[in-house]
Each structure stands twice: as C-alpha cells, then as structure tokens.
Structure 1
Amino acid sequence: MKVYGDLQSGNCLKVKMLLSFLSIEHEWIDVNILAGETKTDAFRSKNPNGKIPAVELDDGRYLCESNAILGYFAENTALLPTDIYLKAKVYEWLFFEQYSHEPFIAVARFIQKYLGMPKEREDEYFSLQEGGNKALQLMENQLAQTKFLVGNEMTIADISLYAYSHVADEGGFDLNHYPEIKKWCHRIQSTPSYVGMM
C-alpha cells in the first residue's frame, strides 16, 4: 500500500498517525505541494482533485480525503465505536473538523507557515482568527467533560482534530487559552506508536 502525502500537512499526519497506531504497513511517498507535484497528470490520475493525502490500496484502488481514509482503516478497530450513536458522534466531529475547524486553523497556518504571511493575505489571515478560536473553544468545552472528544477512549475524531489543533499556534492561535486541549494533546502524544509531524 502506498500513501502520498506531506508530513508538514495536518491532513496527511492524520493518516500517518492512524496507520502507525494500527501497525498497518505502508510505503510513504512524499509529495511537495508547493512545487506543484499534486497538479501533475500523474498525480491527478490518483486523485483528480489534486490534493493530498491519497492512498493507493494493494488492489490498485485509490482513497482520498483524509477523514474518509480514517473511517476506512478504523472500521472494526477500537478507534471507531460499534455503537451507532457513538459512531455518529465520531463522524459529527469529523464533519466539524472539515467545516468549522480546518478552514480557519489550517488556512491561517498555511498563510503564516508555508507562505510567510504575504501582505496581500494579511486581512484574510486576521479574519480567520475568530472562527478558529470558536472551534477551539468548542473542543475545550467538550474536553473539560471527557478525556477524549467522544467519551474517555481515543477515536479517529481525536486523530482528525489533533492534526491541526496541536500546531494551531503556527496560525496565530494561543493554546495557552485552552488548557484542556493542551492536556488532550499530551494524552495523544503519550499513546504508544504515536508519530508526529516531521
């Protein structure tokens, strides 16, 4: 199995973490998005949307979209509950990550870390702060009640939201305002087989 990604990317880190936690063997193939490697015809034959991560399964089929990949590999493992309500709560957080968290925190981080805060994107960067802090506060509120986002056991909801939350400071978000998130990050980092960003 091959995984195409960039370990500076939170979306790719999610997949790397899950495969490590589940001890799933794979070949990691680095893709440089800034060099346009996701725009080539060769890459678009794997993911027509031209984004990473992309997984090439052993049978030659492809999977894209990080949270869909998490759901695929977590099926029938302890990282995805079998109870249908709890499973739905996991997916609730996965949708939250894509719609209410990542568009603010990951984009602000991209502007600051990857692009070096170009003048023409400063207004956009500052406009993202309110939405990102709102998302972090919602997580903080939940983590004040439970050790992980869906109860007291780690699930793919935690892996998904950890990926960009733990580096939110690289997008201008002060995690010192969110002590429960910081403790949660430490719990995840202390999990056997944890891998972080390169």
Structure 2
Amino acid sequence: MGKIIVLFGPSAAGKSEIQKNLSAMNFPKIITATTRQPREYEKDGVHYHFLDRKTFETYMEQQMFVEWTEYNNEWYGTLKSSVEEIIRGNSAGHIIMDLRGVQSLKEQFTNIVSVYIGANIESITRRLHDRNSPESEMNWRLNKALTDELSPSYQAHADYVIWNNDDTNIKDTLNKIYEIL
C-alpha cells in the first residue's frame, strides 16, 4: 500500500523544488484541480486538472475533493480519486498543501506523512526577491511566514521537520525525505 508525503511550510522554503526533484526520482506527484486558466506552458493532467467553475462546484457538492480552497478568486482542490490512486499503488506520492489541507488529508486517510519544509527568514526573503515577486505580495508572504508559518505551533502539525535554508544542499534535503519514504 502506498503513502502520501505532504509538503507544507512557508512560501519560498523550497517545496516546489523538492517536489520537482521527487518527480524526477519517479515518485508520482498528486495532480490537483483548479479553475484558473492554464499558463502557456501548462498541460491539463500534468500540472493541474483544469476545470471550469461549474464542474468544480459540482465536484464540491458531490464531495469529490479531500479539500479545496479559494485563492485569488480561483478554486483549487485535491480530488479524492487522485489520493486513492496513489494509496492503492505501492509507492509514495507527494503533494504540496497548506496546513488546512494537511489536516484534512490526515482526517480522511491513514497513509499520510506530513513534512514541514522550513527556511529562515533571510532565505525566504532572498528567494521571494529572486522570483521578482511584487513588493505587496512579498510583504504579505513574509508577514504570513513570520506570524504563522515559522511558528513552533505550525510546525507541530508535521510528522517531520526539515530546514531548507540557503546554506542547505538540496541533495541533503532530498536524502532526508528519501529516508522518510
């Protein structure tokens, strides 16, 4: 029976980079659904399941999602079928979620391993700056990290805590996750 590695933590802690590396190591990524329009390079079923708003709302009514949230006037959610497919298999899948998503998955499934990926505020600030994030967005994300996501009470929801600061080699971080698998 497979298990799901759920990565969570502050913006710019390195979760997406870790996820990209796990996928390259042939650990399947759980594809989430969204109502937002695909970006030029994105493919349906690879980056997201792109759904129209009516279909997404129908899925919500039919309780087909493990969790869902609205962000920037668009819906995002994790289909139960996507999680169940990995669990029925014999490998470890991975997904990035917020804390609410982690809690929802753990309430509904037993094969869930939550991994908090943290970074110090200096690393987060530099990475957000390198992304050319608008200043208002950068300030919002930094404030959220400082007031919530870097707190011990937030990290306490994790089965494992891994720090991924600028001085951390991504291979070391991946090795720690591989040991969990």
TM-score scaled by length of structure 1 = 0.32
Q: Of the two structures, which has the highest relative contact order with CA contacts closer than 8 Å and spacing of 6 or more?
A: 2
TM-score scaled by length of structure 2 = 0.34
Larger fraction in strand:
2
Larger fraction in helix:
1
